[in-house]
Amino acid sequence: MTFSLPSLPFAPGALAARGMCQETLELHHGKHHQAYVTALNGLVDKNDALKGKSLEEIIRLAHERGDLAAVFNNAGQHWNHSLFWNSLTPNGGGIPGSLEKKLISDFGGVEKFKEQFKAAALGQFGSGWAWLVLGTDGRLKITKTGNAGTPVATGEGKALLVLDVWEHAYYVDFRNRRADFADNFLAKLANFEFAAAQLAAA
Ligand code: MN3
């Protein structure tokens, strides 16, 4: 299987008024994400054990395999970024009633959810990701992963929404202020409609 860069679900300039400029998206999607896809295809092409496998199968197979670290990193980054683009929207921040009810029941309130999500985004030392996951026990939870780590690898649940906290995600718009980037995501960019749809389909 040859993997390809998914199109952004919005125009590259569509988030500029919401705190993520066109330059950020052109670099992040067109350069960073494309580089992971290109590297992954090169690695799969050289390894018969990976050919014909789905992206999720490759991630699980390469997880915690020192000899497949580059495969894991590029496959994980391809999967995580593909979810990240769907986690953003020009009309973000609004939480549909179905998801709001679940956030209240599992976190004790929407603000508590936001506090925990922001804490995960800030608490991830170095590069990584903050996640809203539907756990295998049916409850929502917040997790964080380093580098290319992904819930796909661990089977801990279904990822509903993700924030990229690698510096390349926010440096153009927010310089070193990751906290402001996380606040802005939750208030103006997070696609909670998408998360609610993922929850309904789970
Ligand atoms: Mn990134």
CA dist 5 to 29, 49, 81, 108, 177, Å? 8, 22, 10, 38, 28
CA–centroid distance, 180 to ligand 1, in Å, is 17
Class of domain 21-86: mainly alpha
Q: pLDDT at position 138, please?
A: 98
Q: How far apart are CA 201 and CA 2, in angstroms?
A: 27
pLDDT at 157 over 70: yes
Q: 1: pLDDT confidence band, cut at 50, 70 and 90?
A: low
The Cα 12–Cα 26 span in angstroms is: 7
CA of 81 to the centre of ligand 1 (A): 6
- In this predicted model, what pLDDT tens digit does every residue of 51-97 receive, in sequence order? 999 999 999 999 999 999 999 999 999 999 999 999 999 999 999 99
CA of 165 from ligand 1 middle (Å) equals 7
Ranges in the chain annotated CATH 1.10.287.990? 21-86
Share of the chain above pLDDT 70, in %: 100
0.85 exceeded by pTM = yes
CA of 33 to the centre of ligand 1 (A): 7
pLDDT, position 199 = 98
**Topology of 97-201 in CATH?**
minor pseudopilin epsh fold (3.55.40)
For the chain, residues classed under CATH 3.55.40.20 are 97-201
